[in-house]
Amino acid sequence: MQEFVKTYLLLGLAFSLITACNLQEAKDAKHIEPPKKEIIVRDLDAIRQRGKLVVLTENSSSSYYLYRGQPMGYDFELLNDFAKSENLALEIMVMEDMNDMFEHLHSGVGDLIACNLTVTSERKDKVAFTEALLTTRQVLVQRKPNQWYSLKEAQVEDSLIRDLKGLANQDIYVHEYSSFYSRLQSVQDEIGQDINIISASGNIDSEQLIRLVAEGQIPYTVADENVGQLNQTYYPQIDVKTPISFEQEIAWAVRPNSEDLLLALNEWITSAPGQRKLTFAHKKYFESIKDQKARTQSEYSSLSGQGISLFDADIKKESLRLEWDWKLLASMIYHESRFNPNARSWAGAFGLMQLMPNTAERFGIDSTATSAANIKAGVSYLKYLEKFWEKRVPDRNERLKFILASYNVGPGHVLDAQKIATYLNKNPQIWENNVADCLLLKSQSEYFTLDVVKHGYCRGEEAYKYVKRIMSTYQHYQTMKS
């Protein structure tokens, strides 16, 4: 099995080396080479105009993951608060190949790297780091002997590497882009012996490497101590007590020319609200081990399971009838009820799909219906809205947003907003910055009293935000592999 995994990782490396042209060849790499593509210039003003901050990260228990339909993670929570302070949407881009991370930053695919990134002098030549979020050491991840729990502590210790010289001629799997790779090369110089540093494929993240060690499929890897200790709670058969470096800072990275973005990030990190959030997030993800373990090992976690909710089977079934991606329907249900089948609103809406009694009766159910029946009735209403908007908004992607808004506020109010758009010479078939903005105007008498408006006053802000939230959550759900 070890030979199979080793072959798999090496084959993956061969592919990633072909595509990641900004990296040097394995054994000779002393630092990350600058990307060959022209470095893009896009600072905070341009990001504000676009309205979103794009973050490059990995699916890991420390940085970003999904649990019961909700995005979580140390880096995610911090950056989500920062984005809100700047009135920006936060777009998460989970890297399929971690070796492409720096190239994606410099080519403008993302604006910021956030994945437990170690500050090194080599990297400072290529990226600009924020103020430190925390400090940690690099540690060797190794597997305890079989049936370690029945052995004496001295017997376990004797089987483990505790001195750097013990790394000589050992197979250690790390990503070539990582600070672990360059640190192991320095260790070779320090001990005067070769280490067999094997470059792991970029589509296998750092926590997957730890899992492979835990399962005995590879002998060693390296991790930051905070991440190693966190993973040891999931895999008690691993040991992370052998340091291979001194304390190092962990920070976010931006392009060197993103000076205003860097300044804003640093101001937020060092502010009182930022420091409170850092303390809270550290306790939540690195200190409250029992809760974190329950989240990450759940079948409804993107780290260990493939599900979003208890109702995935019914959501998948009904999404076929609707011809939607099931994750989109799940995103909608999350914002309707947080997957609580007993949810009730002050207005009387009930169940997973939060149907109003009149609508529910129209589609054959009441508040005593099963969750499956509630989803089916909600989808039937969505199909009705699909038919309602089919000719009015021919483009399917645009029509989707009209349907979502109509589900929240009623098709009549959205139709009024479309007419206001025409009145204001906006595009009545485009949602963003056109009909969506006109829906907001329906709370102003100047507009809800127009002759073309048939359904009167509407507090359109709720439906406006509803569409944005669903599409944002859908973007998170699309990062899942299932």
Q: Which residues are catalytic?
A: 336
Report the amino acid identity of residue 292: Q
Burial 91-116 (b: 16+ CB within 10 A, else e): bbbbbebbbbbbbbbbbbebbbbbbb
Asked if residues 463 and 413 have their Cβ atoms less than 8 Å apart, the reply is yes
Q: What is the CA radius of gyration of the chain?
A: 26
Q: CA-CA-CA-CA torsion for 320, 326, 329, 331, nearest 10 degrees?
A: 180
Rounded Cα distance, 288 and 305, in Å: 21
Q: What is the DSSP string of 129-190?
A: E-S-SEEE-EEEEEEPPTTGGGS-HHHHHHTS--SGGGGTT-EEEE-TTSHHHHHHHHHHHH
Asked if residues 333 and 339 have their Cβ atoms less than 8 Å apart, the reply is yes
Q: What is the DSSP string of 65-100?
A: EEETTEEE-HHHHHHHHHHHHTT-EEEEEE-SSGGG
Asked if residues 144 and 170 have their Cβ atoms less than 8 Å apart, the reply is no
428: helix, coil or strand? Answer: coil
- Side-chain half-sphere exposure of 131, counting CA atoms within 13 A: 12
Count Cβ atoms below 10 Å from residue 345 Cβ, excluding itself.
Answer: 11
Q: Per the structure block, which two tokens stand in for 4? A: 């199979």
Asked if residues 314 and 373 have their Cβ atoms less than 8 Å apart, the reply is no
Rounded Cα distance, 319 and 332, in Å: 12
Residues with Cβ within 8 Å of residue 323, at least 6 apart in sequence: none
In degrees, to the nearest 5, what angle opens at C-alpha 421 toward C-alphas 420 and 424?
Answer: 85
Asked if residues 90 and 220 have their Cβ atoms less than 8 Å apart, the reply is no
Each as own residue / partner, the long-range contacts of residues 347-353 (CB below 8 Å, 24 or more positions apart, any chain) are: 350/374, 351/378, 352/311, 352/378, 353/377, 353/378, 353/379, 353/381
Closest CA to 418 of 402, 394, 398: 402
Report the amino acid identity of residue 41: V
Nearest 5°: phi and psi at 128? -105, 130
In degrees, to the nearest 5, what angle opens at C-alpha 107 toward C-alphas 104 and 113?
Answer: 40
